[in-house]
Amino acid sequence: MSTVVHASQDIGVWTRMSLLNISHDLTGYAEVCSLFLSPRYRTAGVGGLLSRSRFMFIVQFMARFPQRLCAEELRGHFDEAGESPFWNAVGSHFYQIDFNEADYLSSHGKESFVAELMPHYPVYLDLLPDAARDAVGVTHKDTAPARRMLEAEGLRYENHIDIFDAGLVLECHIADLRTVRESRLARVEIGVSAADETGAGAAKSLISNTRLHDFRCGAVAVQDGAFVLTPEQAAALCVSEGEGEDVRVLTSYPRAGWKRSGDDMSMYIDGEWQEGRGAAFESRNPGTDETVWQGRGASPEDVDRAVKAARRAFATWSAMPFR
């Protein structure tokens, strides 16, 4: 989508309108495609693990990928009758087939008709029916969890939508992915970890091997920053026994091994941990969808105290050398 401005000084009218244009901006991007997981396995964060494992593979073998990444297959809005308002208002007039047939053809490699029959001139969004306009950039309710996971990973909506149902397209630089920024290589041991002994309650981290042709990824409980695999976990991840080997680790929130005084405190202001006085919220691990922390956000008074503390510290900190 793009924006165009029309203005007339003579009659004092100024309007800004949205245009739908055919775009090739995503040419050369790597694409995060759809996954289908059997309903009987959609428990205990398995879907999130399967999805996040792709990013663990990308960061491990970044030389095999371009600089940018997109997710185009986020299903758009459909009404209660199962119809796409956007397709009915736009695509159906150009392609002369119903949505399901067009979707089937494009998903089975017959995509030439999309370019051959699509509109070659801009479409003014304001000229479409209300239902079609309201569907632009809206994600289907069943796809909302996938969207939240991708946005937590760092992908963002940049005004690209799907030509069929107007579902949004998410994109980012691969270097901006959370997994790229925060994962690290670690040496693990094989034995019995403290997390295994204490059982439930230990935070889980994504962990993968570093093998191209036998890549494995899983979620492992971590405690006190120690990455210890049981023999069964090591076998599942294809990690050698004995002295162990390097694995890639993406820690959960809060990061394993990160210590603070007072786990119920949510913010650090003026040299001490303090409980926020704003609205309550929870932080969820996007890889497993489990709640890893609950607390309260900042109130306007908290923000004011933080700004004042920063101003008091500025004179000293700004004079400090870089080293």
In angstroms, rounded to a whole number, what is the distance separating the alpha carbons of residues 171 and 150? Answer: 9
Question: Which of 140, 160, 173, 213 is flagged as catalytic?
Answer: 140
Instruction: Please report, for the chain, how many H helices and E strands are present, in that order.
Output: 11, 17
In angstroms, rounded to a whole number, what is the distance separating the alpha carbons of residues 95 and 97? Answer: 6
Three-state secondary structure call for residue 233: helix
* Residue 185 near residue 239 (C-beta atoms within 8 A): no
Cα 135 to Cα 92, 139, 164, 168, distances in angstroms: 15, 8, 11, 10
Q: In a 10 Å sphere around its CB, with 0-12 CB exposed, 13-18 middle and 19+ buried, how is residue 285 labelled?
A: buried
Three-state secondary structure call for residue 285: coil
The one-letter amino acid code at 211 reads R
Positive/negative CA dihedral, 161, 162, 167, 170: negative
- Is 120 assigned a catalytic role? no
* Residue 234 near residue 190 (C-beta atoms within 8 A): yes
In angstroms, rounded to a whole number, what is the distance separating the alpha carbons of residues 34 and 54? Answer: 11
Positions marked active-site = 140
